Amino acid sequence: MRKLILASILLVSGFIQAQEFQGLAVYESKTSTADITKAFSGNRDITPEMQKQIEERMRKMFEKTFILNFDKTASICKEEEKLDAPGQQGGGRMMSSMMGGGGTHYKNVKEKQFSVDKEFFGKEFVVKDSLPKYDWKLEGESKQIGSYTCFKATAVVKVSASDFRNFRPRNRDKKETDKKVETVKDTTKTSKTNFTEDWEMPKENTITAWYCPEIPINQGPENYWGLPGLILEVNDGKTVMLCTKVVMNSKEKVAIKPVGKGKQVTQKEYDEIVKKKTEEMMEMNSGPNGQRSIRFNR
C-alpha cells in the first residue's frame, strides 16, 4: 500500500513539474445557519414554524459549489453560478457577501498575496492583502476522502469581522450579570438598536483541515493554504467545504490571475466598512420609521 501511494505521489509530482500544469478541484459547501437566523430575527415575534422556514431557506442559500483551479504557485476559487429563487436575487447576493461568500478568490502562495472581488450594498470592492498565516498543527489522524488518503491538521485563526457566518447568540446570563453591576446608565443606548447586544462575533476559531500528500500542492479552497498537500476538506465550526472531484493536469486551461474591479482595500478596511454599514442598517430598521435604504456616497 505504501509503495502504491509513493508511486502515485511520484506520478503526480511529475505532472506538477510540467510547465503548463493545471489542476481542478470541486468543493461542496454547507453552512450551519441556526445561530445566524436567530441573530437576524432580533426581537420580532416569530413562531417556531416561521423560524424553521427561515432556517430552511438560509440553509439552501448557503449550499454552494466552488471550483478551484490551480497551478504550481497560484489558484483561483469561484462559486459556481446558479439561478436565484424568485424574489431572492438582490437579497441573496447581499446576504452572501455578508456571509463571507461571493467573488473570485485569487491567491499566490509564492508571493503570499491574495485578492477577492466583493460587492456590498451595491458598491464593488477588491480586497487585496497578505495571505493569512496558519500555524498548522499536523495531527496523526487520517481518513479516506474519495480515493485519496488524507491527514488531519488544525489551526487557531483570527475571525474576519466581515464574515457573519460566525454569528453566535451572546451569553444572556452574562449579559444580565453585566447589567446588574452597571453603576452609570448610558442614556444613549435607548436610541440605539439592541442588535449588537444580542449577538457576538468570536475573536478566534479552530480550523480543521484534511490534506492529501498524494497531491503535493500548497493550496485549498478560498484563502486556505499552507499544508503539504491539497486541502480536500476544511471545517471552521460553521462551514464545511468538501472536495467531490479532482482533475489533475486538466487539458482545458484557465487564466489564473487576479480578477474584479472596484475600490481596492485591505482586509481590515473592508471589515470596517461592512461592520459600519451593517450597524447603520440595523439601527435604521429598528427605528420608528421602519425600513430605510443605506447608500454609499459615490
Q: What is the sign of the dihedral through the CA atoms of 177, 178, 181 and 184?
A: negative
pLDDT at 195: 47
pTM above 0.85, yes or no: no
- Angle, CA of 210, 214 and 216, to the nearest 5°: 85
Can you give the C-alpha Rg of the chain in angstroms? 22
Cell 445557519, located at residue? 33
pLDDT at 112: 95
Paired residues of 144 in beta bridges: 149
pLDDT at 292: 42
Cell 474591479, located at residue? 261
pLDDT at 290: 46
Residue 235 CA: distances (Å) to CA of 94, 119, 243, 246, 256: 23, 25, 12, 19, 25
pLDDT at 183: 40
Cell of residue 160, nine digits: 474576519
pLDDT at 97: 53
What does the domain layout of the chain look like in residue ranges? 2-285
pLDDT at 37: 60
pLDDT at 186: 45
Taking the alpha carbons at both ends of the chain, their separation in whole angstroms is 62
For residues 240-251, b (16+ Cβ closer than 10 Å) or e, as one string? bbbbeebebeee
pLDDT at 217: 94
For the chain (298 residues), the mean pLDDT of every run of 10, in chain order, is: 48 56 93 64 64 74 90 93 54 52 86 92 90 94 96 90 65 49 42 53 87 95 95 93 93 86 91 84 61 44
Residue 159 exposed, middle or buried by CB count within 10 Å (0-12, 13-18, 19+):
middle
Phi then psi dihedrals of residue 197, to 5 deg: -80, -20
Phi then psi dihedrals of residue 180, to 5 deg: -65, -30
